[in-house]
Structure 1
């Protein structure tokens, strides 16, 4: 009886009864992304750990494929079936496309200081109708050339800043028995190389051709020269590139089998994962002719409305807030090879490549040579980007002449 009275008293005080009540399950966050390589998976692991520490469970839905095409197909299937993820990795114009479908949840309540904390060119991509619907992780520079330091030393030690210098270095690497240029065999990788060559003709030329899709620029003699240069670069590939993932091409440079690779700075995460040091084991330089320009690629998460509600869930808001925190921005980019998208984050812990990326970014923003990457899905909607990619890939996997490729390019640019 005494025990019963004691239990009753505790229950009336709101103690024992509450303790015995069922514990509410933590909100599960289903997250779709394509970060599956070593450096990438380590970076997204930081976010997963942060969210779990906050009491949220993480349902990882990783879809392999560097450019995210497979992930976007999977996302469409999920949304159509009424099983939209809590968050999904999406870029550029596609953010607006999903927003127009009325399926995204605004996250304004945690975005109080974002406008002043983001570069203006990036801030506008994160919003639709004045509302934030996406949270950006980091900024990648796409127009990088990675060089194995030992291979460069054997080839004369001079980082190429022009195409003639590049071809001279490539010839020396080839004579030394190396694959001069490591290259994968996926369409987005073809486009990554091609757009850097376009950028080497100047940021204004790039903007007119790739952002404005100006027909006069697309059919110009300069564009024919772009395809001629790409064709010559191809002669330094190895025969095994078909179907090769980008990180496997990066590994060729890391282990000394190949001398150079054109790739965005996410490749730096692979070098870091292999214990390689910038300046000592490898060099990161702007692609020849592009040192004054910067093609940016921004990774973001958008937040989908969950069943029965239009507002963002507590977990989604916590996820967005965590992504934009200075602490997460720093740690994520240290693993990913990028630089923080949030302004004002200290660069003291970053390597020389990242510090150069940040300095070059600020210079490019001021000089109006800061342009969106086409291969990074930042410059054009899917239809136009896909049509242009098809032209470039066909050219790089056939004997098509440059003039015919330019004609096809101009036609592809009219795709809506």
Structure 2
């Protein structure tokens, strides 16, 4: 039982007899943290689509990056019997809310709209609790991307690396030429994003899932995990000395300006290249992180749907779920956010080259088993387990004398303690 379950469980028991609040008929209240740039425009588009269906949209936006502030507000609202219709919740936290009885079933909408045929099972499972849909996916981000400035690589007569050994060879050439090989921001989630890409490269999708989804100690505390830490240390040796605390978009800017050659980051980085007026395939390149070309690490935004007691609001809620997965909204939102639609039947001809490549990989890996959840971005495990992994990885990344064997033991102990 993680901390959220314990906290919410205690609060829920104390307020179980409180009545649900009555809201205005046909109103859909949506808790999210899409408060800036393209995300805010996408939220506005969703509002327009709901209003066009005759519903009233009540915006419940709580600013703050990863949604920590939003979750604090949501807990208070939910246990007082006045939850919003929908809340932006992701990963295994969806199941924690469902386990406590707060979420409603979307099975009727899913059946009408053929969600099981449109969404890969690996994604659908994250949206379900005990086999029932309780949340709807909004989009898919591919996390294991390598962003490249081709002009910088050309200076050292190098090609985009496709394996870790090729990456090290290219990075050595760049370093010798006085160029920063890998742009990076020294923050725990960014360290975990790079570590995750290396882990996928070394372990492969099957053992990656055994370690970070199933928490299998035979893989976590293994020679292959030691190798993962050793290779991660070498990758991080190509990061500049000023990386500590740097934001991810600042690191992307280094690639754009030619100060650095490459960055390992999710496809939200594409927005920075787009904002700079650059064209994918020409001014910058997007390639799978080294040795992960047949794999896809996913990060999915999603909305969990809360139990309501007003029939008109329930109808609005179901229409919201239906609208989120409509081709129209999928297109508008994913283009604004730099991600791809979660529906595998989408026509991608109007999307950019990186998005098309991403969808090709998404469809292929959904069939081959190479589609795996990102632990760095909260899709593979609880926030408590994730926090423990972050601590081990970041301490290792910042160590003056990193010891892969010691780090492997620490990772095993940390995950074991979090279960």
What TM bracket, shorter-length normalisation?
0.7 to 0.9
Using the TM superposition, name which of 68-77 and 158-167 deviates more: 68-77
1:33-60 CA-to-partner distances (Å, cap 9, x unmatched) read 3445644444434323433444533424
Which residue of structure 2 aligns with residue 277 of structure 1? 279
Residue 362 (structure 2) aligns with: 361
**Where in structure 2 are the equivalents of 1:372-387 lying within 5 Å?**
372-387=373-388
Unaligned runs of 5+ in 2: 1-22
Q: 1:332 to 1:223 in 2, by over 3 A?
A: same
1:296 aligned counterpart, secondary structure: strand
SS at match of 1:75: helix
Shift of 1:177: 4.2
Query: C-alpha distance in 2, partners of 1:271/1:410?
Result: 38
Q: 1:396 to 1:37 in 2, by over 3 A?
A: farther
* CA gap 1:173/1:388 in 2 versus in 1, 3 angstroms: same
Shift of 1:171: 3.0
Q: What is the Cα deviation at residue 80 of structure 1?
A: 3.9
- What is the CA deviation profile of residues 141-182 of structure 1, one whole-angstrom value per residue up to 9, with x for unaligned ones? 111111122222223241101122212222333344443222
Name 1:121's counterpart in structure 2.
122
Q: Is the 8 A contact 2:28 2:313 kept in 1?
A: no
Deviates more, 1:287-296 or 1:236-245: 236-245
Deviation at 1:199, TM superposition (A): 0.3
How far apart, in 1, do the equivalents of 2:341 and 2:244 lie?
33
Match of 1:98 in 2: 97
Equivalent residue number for residue 33 of structure 1: 32
Partner of 1:56: 56
Secondary structure of the equivalent of 1:200? Answer: helix
Secondary structure of the structure 1 residue equivalent to 2:92 = helix
Secondary structure of the corresponding residue to residue 386 of structure 1: helix
| Corresponding residue number in structure 1 for 2:15 | none
Residue 317 (structure 1) shift: 2.2
The 8 Å contact of residues 323 and 329 in structure 2, kept in 1 or not, is answered as yes
Cα deviation for residue 325 of structure 1 reads 0.4
Aligned counterpart, 1:72: 71
Displacement of 1:278 in angstroms is 0.8
User: Which string of whole-angstrom CA distances, capped at 9 and with x for unpartnered residues, describes residues 280-324 of structure 1?
Assistant: 111111111111111122211112235x55995333222211101
The residue that corresponds to 1:197 in the other structure is 198
User: What secondary structure does 2:277 align onto?
Assistant: coil
Conserved in 2, the CA contact under 8 Å of 1:194 and 1:392? yes
Separation in structure 1 between the aligned mates of residue 161 and residue 67 of structure 2, nearest angstrom? 31
- What does the per-residue CA deviation read over 1:205-248, in whole Å, with 9 as the maximum and x for residues that have no partner? 21222122222222222211211222222222233333333223
SS of the residue corresponding to residue 242 of structure 2 reads coil
Determine which of 297, 300, 305 is the counterpart of 2:299. 297
Offset at residue 97 of structure 1 (A): 0.8
Counterpart in 1 of 2:237? 235
Residues 74/230 of structure 1: CA separation in 2 closer, same or farther (3 Å cut)? farther
For 1:108-187, list aligned pairs within 5 A.
108-111=107-110, 112=112, 113-187=114-188
Which residue in 2 is equivalent to 1:10? Answer: none
The TM-score normalised by the length of structure 2 is 0.85
> Within 2, Cα distance between the matches of 1:43 and 1:262?
26
CA contact under 8 A between 1:106 and 1:312: conserved in structure 2?
no
For residues 274 and 304 of structure 2, the distance between their equivalents in structure 1, rounded to whole angstroms, comes to 28
Partner residue in 1 for 2:261: 259
- Provide the C-alpha distance between the structure 2 equivalents of 1:249 and 1:77, rounded to a whole number of angstroms: 37
Structure (1 or 2) with the larger CA radius of gyration: 1
Query: How far, CA to CA, are the matches of 1:234 and 1:37 in structure 2?
Result: 31
Partner in structure 1 of residue 46 of structure 2 = 47
Structure 2 SS opposite 1:410:
helix
